[in-house]
Structure 1
Amino acid sequence: MFKKLFSYLIPMNIFKQKSRISQSLEITWANGELVLDSKNTNYSYGSLQRILRKGLQNIGFDKIVSMEHILVLGVAGGSVIKTLVDEIRYQGKITGVEIDPEIITIANDYFNLNAIPNLEIKIDDAFEFVFKTKDSYDLIIIDVFQDTVMPNFLFESYFIDRVGFLMQKNGFMLFNTMILNESHNERNQNYCSQFNTKHYLVKKIPRIEQHNELIVVEKLGK
């Protein structure tokens, strides 16, 4: 309790662990809330939760609550899942894909992720999972980082096409990206241009929490 109260003045680290995949993972009390950070960025809760909540608000909580199946690529501590379950009161199926099993252990221990009954966690590479799954999804949330680095495959046409194929008609994709330089701006612009405007609506929500840009894609139905 002391550390929680003191965290309104200064962040209070309570746990630190090295990870083979994520390198450094830390649990910290910050402004009275537990957050999960990597070496250089927030991985869950804190600013990341605010960022993805804004994207979900843009889609519409009323639309999300009626969806049947949501896919989360990049679970980390599970803050976006907590938003879905605790704030939106989503009761449909959630499939979370996370490559780092150590993060899931931390998420279970500190954030009670394993207490969510409608959540199924898959320890898998997001790239491989997307090409293996036989399900389709009403919402696909992509939040795949290794510290501040986004894997190149996220922006390749074959991955984009596959994600589009997995989206239900009238479904959505919410993609969290990081903009650190002008080449990243150009990368995101090129990403958006790869969606055929006859079949998709694409919008960007720029400069959230300084360096993040959300891309929201809606798959048009007939």
Structure 2
Amino acid sequence: MLKKFLSYFIPVNIVKKHSEISQNLEVTWNNGQLVLDSKNTNYSYGSLQRILRKGLNYIGFERIRGFKSILVLGVAGGSVIKTLTDEIKYKGKITGVEIDPKVIEIANTYFGLDQIINLEIIICDAFEFVLKTKEKYDLIIIDIFKDTVMPNFLFEDYFINRINYLLKVNGFILFNTMTLTRQDKERNALYKLHFNDDYSVRMYPKVEDHNELYTIKKMR
């Protein structure tokens, strides 16, 4: 507990690991909370948990509790899953897809992700998973980064159309994006054009400085 106490004054590193996929990963006590960071950004807990909690709050905690199935693309340390189970008290099925087994190893060891009984973790590329799965979901959370970089496929027609197909009517997509450059903002502006009148798209800018959140409801 000494490290936790000291973290209110200065971050205290617990472990550093190298991953072939995520490169540098660090678990650190920061302001009394364990967080998972990559080289340049927060991967789980900390600011990322605040960002996704806001998105879930926009959708509505009570509404989420009524969902039967949730898909999380990009698990990292599992902070959004902890918000779902610990804060929202979600009891339905959660499927988490994560490409990096090292991240899941950290999530299990330091954040207790493997203790969540209604969670299934699948080690797989998110693009491959959405192509193969036959299930449909009430909520799809997309939170995929390699450090501060978002893969291009997230903004391409085929992936977007496939995600829309996997979403149940009256279901929601929660999409966390990072906007560090003018090109990022232009990319996000074009993203909204992929949705027709069957969808209600809302964008929430300036969430934790450099993040824009999207909530997308499938109306019919």
TM > 0.5? yes
Deviation at 1:181, TM superposition (A): 1.1
Counterpart for residue 217 of structure 1 = 216
DSSP 3-state at the match of 1:159: helix
Counterpart for residue 150 of structure 1 = 150
DSSP 3-state at the match of 2:16: strand
Paired residues for 1:134-145 under 5 Å: 134-145=134-145
Deviations 1:107-145 (A, max 9, x none): 000000000000000000000000000000000000000
Distance 2:109 2:158 in 1: 36
Q: Which amino acid aligns with 2:59?
A: I
Counterpart for residue 102 of structure 1 = 102
Counterpart for residue 200 of structure 1 = 199
Distance 2:116 2:200 in 1: 32
Counterpart for residue 117 of structure 1 = 117
Counterpart for residue 73 of structure 2 = 73
Q: Which amino acid aligns with 1:123?
A: I
Structure 2 residue runs of 5 or longer lacking an equivalent are none
The count of corresponding residues between Structure 1 and Structure 2 is 220
Deviation at 1:149, TM superposition (A): 0.5
Q: Which amino acid aligns with 2:60?
A: G
Q: Which amino acid aligns with 2:96?
A: G
Deviations 1:22-51 (A, max 9, x none): 000000000000000000000000000000
Distance 1:194 1:98 in 2: 25
Counterpart for residue 128 of structure 2 = 128
DSSP 3-state at the match of 2:75: coil
Q: Which amino acid aligns with 1:181?
A: T
Paired residues for 1:20-99 under 5 Å: 20-99=20-99
Distance 1:114 1:163 in 2: 26
DSSP 3-state at the match of 1:172: strand
Q: CA RMSD in A?
A: 0.5
Distance 1:88 1:199 in 2: 28
TM-score relative to the length of structure 1: 0.98
Distance 1:35 1:171 in 2: 30
DSSP 3-state at the match of 1:117: coil
DSSP 3-state at the match of 2:160: helix
Range 46-55 or range 183-192, more displaced: 183-192
DSSP 3-state at the match of 1:191: helix
Distance 1:147 1:183 in 2: 17
TM-score relative to the length of structure 2: 0.99
DSSP 3-state at the match of 2:203: strand
Distance 1:171 1:208 in 2: 22
Q: Establish whether residue 4 from structure 1 lines up as the match of residue 7 from structure 2.
A: no
